[in-house]
Every structure is written in C-alpha cells, then in structure tokens.
C-alpha cells in the first residue's frame, strides 16, 4: 500500500479538522508537484446545461450531415458549417416606458405623467451619450410605450428605422412562481398573452444571421412583464421566475447575443442616469 508523505498526512489531518467548511483541498503528487483544487472543481456536474441550439440557428442543426465518408463530402459539409456560422453580435436594449396614469380606464387614458415624460427624456439623453449607431427602434403599440419612444427618439439620429409591434404589448406571460396574492389574472389571459409574448421573443431574440458582418443595436420600448420574461428566457432561467425581477420606469436592460449563441446580460433595470427623485417602479 502506498505510504503518505509528511505533507500529505498534515493535509489529511487538516481536512478532518475543517470538515464542513466551504472548501476542501485535494492534494495529489503530480510530476513532483502538488496539485491543489477547490472542492467545486472536482466531480462537478451542472444542474442545468446550456441549450446551444435555443434559437434553432446552431450550424450543425441547419446543415445536413455528409452522406458518405468521402473526403470531398466532409470538406463540403465543413464549408457549409462555416458559411452558416454567425459572425456578429446582436445587442438588444430593452427600455421600460415611463411612469403613467394608473387611473386610466382605457389604454388611451393611460398616458405618461409629467414625471414619466422626464424619465423618458433622461433615458433618451443617456442612450444618445452611448454614441451607438442604432439600427432599429421597435415600439409597443400601447400609449405609454409610444409616448416614451417618441420622447427618446428626439435624442437619436433622425434616420433610425422605427417600427410598431403589437407582440411586445404588456401582458401576463406565464403564471409566476411563487404566486403573488394581489395580482392574479384569469387563466384565459395567460393562455392568450403567453403565446404572443413567446412569439415576440422568437422574433427578436436570436443570433445574427450569417450574412450580418457588423454588430447590430436594436431598441425595444415596451413593458416590465415583457422585459422580465425576455431576460429569463434569454438566460435560460426558469421563466416562471419573471415576477421576482423588479424594473424601474425608463430603465435600460441590455442583452447581447454572441455569434456562438451564448447570451450576456450587460445591465438590468439601469437607471443610474437619473437622480434618485426621478426613479420609480410602480
């Protein structure tokens, strides 16, 4: 049986003394050196694995495999894989509308408050300072989002493409977990809204097409429930946790979709461009 060196014996005794602490060390002799590892790096298995083909644009899922083992077929397959790969980053800036009149009985009456207009103006100024060449501004068709987008657009180049989209209107994306006592939409509302908001996610969240060679920057001016659901879906977090996220009015949430299909959340509900007196969430 292999004998332990003096250092190994001391290490083993030390491990026994600190059992139950945050980390332990695995010490083994390797080429006359001792390999030390933190506990979480040994025999670690992730609880959930990243779905690389979440947007169904992974090259291997698009290109048909070679029909034979011939070198020319393999070469043709590899060339097609390379052509199908994304080459640019898609940046999505999700902007929540400003504070609005909660007493309005209809959507047309739920206009921005004076504070809401100030929030939208400050957000527009912040976006302008980023000095980004914006490719597209997408607006929810609801009144408060339309107003917010128009105020923001005053600070952006006049040639930016603007589109209206009903898919990103506010709604109930999925029953939240845990449930919230004061907010319980009818099951019918979840049934209707979830399909629409899911369709919006599929429209805007995907890696860049292969023919896109430059990074793109898209603004989506919409609503808290929609943005929170988008963030959970994009990061492959449990979507029913969307209501655990809080978003400020006029806030900026920045998501980047890399050519590999990996997703990066660069900011969430950013309102650092506002003085505290302007910051609200409800």
Determine the average pLDDT of the residues in 63-80. Answer: 88
Whether 239 is in a domain gets the answer yes
List the domain range (segments joined by +) for residue 128.
90-278
CATH at 212: 3.40.50.1240
pLDDT one-digit tens code per residue, 233-269: 999 999 999 999 999 999 999 999 999 999 999 999 9
Looking at the structure, do residues 180 and 137 belong to the same domain, yes or no? yes
pLDDT one-digit tens code per residue, 123-135: 999 999 999 999 9
Looking at the structure, do residues 121 and 184 belong to the same domain, yes or no? yes
Looking at the structure, do residues 204 and 105 belong to the same domain, yes or no? yes
**Among 66, 85, 104, which residue terminates a domain?**
85
| Mean pLDDT of the residues in the chain | 88
Extract the tokens encoding 113: 């408050």
| 35 band by pLDDT with thresholds 50, 70 and 90 | low
Counted domains in the chain: 2
Q: Give pTM, 2 decimals.
A: 0.83
Looking at the structure, do residues 187 and 96 belong to the same domain, yes or no? yes
């Amino acid at each position: 049986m292999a004998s332990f060196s003096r250092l190994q014996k001391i290490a083993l005794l030390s491990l026994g003394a600190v059992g139950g602490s945050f980390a332990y060390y695995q010490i083994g002799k390797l080429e006359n050196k001792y390999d030390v590892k933190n506990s979480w790096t040994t025999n670690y298995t992730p609880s959930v694995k990243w779905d690389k083909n979440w947007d169904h644009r992974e090259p291997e899922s698009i290109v048909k495999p070679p029909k034979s083992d011939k070198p020319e077929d393999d070469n043709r397959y590899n060339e097609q894989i390379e052509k199908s790969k994304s080459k640019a980053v898609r940046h999505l800036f999700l902007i929540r509308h400003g504070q609005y009149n909660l007493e309005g009985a209809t959507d047309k009456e739920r206009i921005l408050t004076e504070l809401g207009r100030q929030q939208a103006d400050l957000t527009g100024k912040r976006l302008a300072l980023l000095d980004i060449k914006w490719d597209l501004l997408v607006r929810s068709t609801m009144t408060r989002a339309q107003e917010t987008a128009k105020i923001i657009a005053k600070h952006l180049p006049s040639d930016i493409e603007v589109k209206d989209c009903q898919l990103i209107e506010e709604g109930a994306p999925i029953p939240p977990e845990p449930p919230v006592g004061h907010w319980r939409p009818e099951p019918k509302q979840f049934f209707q809204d979830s399909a629409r908001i899911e369709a919006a996610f599929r429209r805007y969240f995907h890696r860049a097409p292969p023919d896109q060679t430059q990074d793109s920057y898209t603004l989506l001016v919409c609503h808290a429930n929609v943005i929170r659901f988008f963030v959970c879906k994009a990061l492959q977090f449990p979507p029913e946790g969307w209501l655990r996220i809080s978003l400020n009015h006029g806030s900026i949430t920045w998501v980047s979709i890399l050519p590999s299909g990996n997703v990066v959340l660069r900011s969430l509900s950013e309102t650092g461009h506002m003085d505290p007196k302007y910051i609200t969430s409800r």
